[in-house]
């Protein structure tokens, strides 16, 4: 490994590529084979965050947000709770992107 070689950190569904020649970090998808996000390191500050996502992050109904037979109001409230969680996930992604933070999400189906 040479001084200017990129550093790769592999994850189940992608990898981080640190390229210090242009002060960038790229999050690359192994499946899509494209760059998902680029962070500028010229500020000299890089942060990492991670989150384990259970099934409630991906589908409705789930163990926390249920369908209640013959109770539309309760089911609708449960669905709104699911949507609120999805909005929080999107807000977290946008926040970390704006704040030069690499967010790594670990889906529940990955060991």
For 35-55, what is each residue's pLDDT tens digit?
555 555 556 667 778 888 888
Tens of pLDDT, residues 1-36: 566 666 566 665 556 666 555 666 665 555 555 555
- As a whole number of angstroms, the distance between CA 63 and CA 66 comes to 7
What phi-psi label fits residue 13: left (phi over 0), alpha (psi between -120 and 50 degrees) or beta? alpha
Distance CA 14, CA 6 (A): 15
Two tokens at 105?
């999400």
Assess contact for 64 and 53: CB atoms under 8 A: no
């Amino acid at each position: 490994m040479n001084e200017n070689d990129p550093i790769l950190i592999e994850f189940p569904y992608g990898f981080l590529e640190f390229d210090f020649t242009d002060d960038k970090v790229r999050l690359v998808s192994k499946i899509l084979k494209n760059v998902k996000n680029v962070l500028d390191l010229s500020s000299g500050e890089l942060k990492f965050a991670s989150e384990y996502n259970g099934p409630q992050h991906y589908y409705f109904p789930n163990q926390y947000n249920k369908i209640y037979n013959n109770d539309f109001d309760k089911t609708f409230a449960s669905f709104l709770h699911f949507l609120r969680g999805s909005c929080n996930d999107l807000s977290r992604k946008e926040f970390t992107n704006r704040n030069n933070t690499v967010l790594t999400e670990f889906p529940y189906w990955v060991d």
